[in-house]
Amino acid sequence: MQTFDPVLLEQWDRQYVWHPFTQMQQYVQEKPLIIARGEGSYLIDVEGNRYLDGVSSLWVTVHGHCHPALNRAIKEQLDLIAHSTLLGLANVPSILLAKKLVEITPSGLNKVFYSDAGATAVEIALKMAFQYWQQKEGGRHHSKTKFISLAEAYHGDTIGSVSVGGMSLFHGIFRPLLFQCLHAPAPYCYRCPLELEKDGCGMACVDRLEELMGKHHGEVAALIIEPLVQGAAGMITAPAGYLRRVRELCTRYNILLIADEVAVGFGRTGRLFACEHEGVSPDLMCLAKGITGGYLPLAATLTTDEIYSAFLGKPEECRTFYHGHTYTGNPVACAAALASMELFEQEGLPGTLQPKIELLRRGLESFWQLPHVGDIRQRGMMVGIELVADRETKKSYPVQEQVGHRVILEARRRGLIIRPLGDVIVLMPILTMSEGELNNVLEITFESIAAVTGH
């Protein structure tokens, strides 16, 4: 393979590439880290330096980088065909994968609609839910056009998924472009939006949600939620029983439940899907990220026979779901996903994760020694460590101090790649990391926080 001078690559990166979610003025002043290859739990840069991948690239890698079984499946499919459309045609891997997804997801999800990113999976769920109510029972429910989501929600960056987003930092500027969405308080117990204490609040945030539903159910098509963990908001973990109550309310008020499992799906929380923890079957489920083991872009929106059947009818009734992307159901991506599902079975995932989850939990206890650790939130293999200027008052650091960013630069110097969400240090280890590697992730993170915030 052709090799390039790392200095030239750095120059071209600064000159030509606009990086996502990145303040470019700052980025071009720092030395870019250019990854050349991956090996198991490690990323290796163009200068040959090795880094533990503490965030699974971007919360996607499941079985490790450059896994021979995944590489083989992709190469074998490439020798058959790289792409064939699902518009009017079918292809072999997309059929096999759809069958598999229906088998492994919560009961009732029987139809699979493919796309290629988490945001498009969400966009599709929103449009399906909307169109369902327009068509059901001859349009009797046509006033159900709005959505409910949670404050601090993150569902992707397309206009529809931003409309149901609730993070003012990411979404505020786009407000004039967005459709209307009703927001319920997030179950953010560390900074309760209702200013209550976790013990004894009786999940008052769910009561607020019920009030909202009671008032607006006639105009609400669906509620969208990140089950168990609001990831991008800083790993906000919902209390036990929260999701089940949300499901019950959706059923009671005739509102569809969209579970956005883009971040939490495929083993992240210790179960294959987060909804399983509370025995919840949503009406629509969005999957992406880990679906291909983190190898190729692919997403899926799953739904029920009830919703699907509202789209059946004679051509003149125009009940077609007019949505599709060119690369929808790409056979190479579907082949990677099928190989990833096989690995789940062979590696006994997610069942075998429990000791690793426990190792993380125990290791994180020592982080309380660090005086600027305000909160530690863990759900399975997802961790958020919230750093604060003052633990007593929970006062945040001034934004310009960029504490989170400085911590991850320290970690990088020590051989660990992580990415913060503001001042929340995120750990999303690859599910197949060894216990030794997990201990290294914890150790380097601890040292890096200590180096920036003091002991």
Residue ranges at the known binding site for substrate: 154, 289, 324, 419
Q: Does 162 bind ligand PMP (CB under 6 A)?
A: no
Closest residue to bound ligand PMP by CB: 118
Q: Which residue number, 372 or 379, has a Cβ lying nearer to ligand PMP?
A: 379
CA distances from 78 to 72, 90, 295, 359, 424 (A): 10, 17, 14, 39, 40
117 near ligand PMP (CB under 6 A): yes
Q: Is 155 in the site for ligand PMP (CB under 6 A)?
A: yes
Residue-wise DSSP of 383-402: EEEEE-SBTTTTBPPPGGG-
Minimum Å gap between C-beta 47 and ligand PMP is: 28
Can residue 343 be called a binding residue for ligand PMP (CB under 6 A)?
no
CB-CB neighbours of 338 under 10 Å: 21
- Amino acid identity, residue 156? G
Please give the C-alpha separations between residue 107 and each of 232, 273, 284, in angstroms, as whole numbers. Answer: 28, 12, 11
Q: Does 226 bind ligand PMP (CB under 6 A)?
A: yes
Closest-CA residue to 227 (of 451, 379, 431, 56): 379
One residue of 166, 187, 231, 290 binding ligand PMP per CB under 6 A = 231
Q: Provide the minimum distance between the beta carbon of 294 and ligand PMP in the complex, in angstroms, as a whole number.
A: 11
Q: Counting contacts by CB under 6 A, is residue 151 touching ligand PMP?
A: no
Stretch that binds ligand PMP, among 8-16, 81-89, 150-158, 404-412 (CB under 6 A): 150-158
**Amino acid in position 161:** S
Annotated binding site for pyridoxal 5'-phosphate: 118-119, 260, 325-326
CB of 230 to ligand PMP, least distance (A): 8
User: Distance between CA atoms of 80 and 370, rounded to whole angstroms?
Assistant: 55
Query: Should residue 273 be labelled a site residue for ligand PMP when binding is judged by CB under 6 A?
Result: no
Q: How many binding residues for ligand PMP (CB under 6 A)?
A: 14
Distance in angstroms (rounded) separating the CA atoms of residues 266 and 245: 23
Judged by CB under 6 A, the residue of 64, 156, 166, 380 near ligand PMP is 156
Q: In whole angstroms, what is the distance from residue 336 CA to residue 78 CA?
A: 11
CB atoms within 10 A of CB 90: 11
In angstroms, give the least distance from the CB of 122 to ligand PMP: 6
Helix pair angle (68-78, 331-346), 10° resolution: 150
Q: Give ∠ CA 413-231-110 in degrees, rounded to 5.
A: 130
Tell the residue number behind the tokens 């009732």, with chain if given.
108
Q: Which of 118, 166, 294, 374 binds ligand PMP (CB under 6 A)?
A: 118
Of positions 232, 274, 296, 364, contacts ligand PMP by CB under 6 A:
232
Instruction: Compute the distance between CA of residue 171 and CA of residue 178 in angstroms, rounded to an integer.
Output: 9
| Nearest-approach distance from CB 289 to ligand PMP, in angstroms | 6
Binding site, by residue number, is: 118-119, 154, 260, 289, 324-326, 419
With tokens 């994760």, the residue in question is 353
Long-range pairs for 211-218: beta carbons < 8 A, 24 or more residues apart: 212/148, 212/182, 212/184, 213/148, 213/249, 213/250, 213/252, 213/253, 213/255, 214/253, 216/146, 216/148, 216/182, 217/253, 217/254, 217/255, 218/143, 218/144
Binding residue (CB under 6 A) for ligand PMP from 86, 119, 225, 338: 119
The answer to the question of residue 124 lying near ligand PMP (CB under 6 A) is: no
Q: Which of 284, 288, 360, 425 binds ligand PMP (CB under 6 A)?
A: 288
Query: Does 122 contact ligand PMP by CB under 6 A?
Result: yes
- Of 151 and 262, the one with the shorter C-beta distance to ligand PMP is 262
CB-nearer residue toward ligand PMP: 52 or 150: 150
Q: Which is nearer to ligand PMP, 154 or 344 (CB)?
A: 154
Q: Residue 125 has which token pair?
A: 């769920």
Which residue, 205 or 228, has its beta carbon nearer to ligand PMP? 228
Interface residue list for ligand PMP (CB under 6 A):
117-119, 122, 154-156, 226, 231-232, 260, 262-263, 288
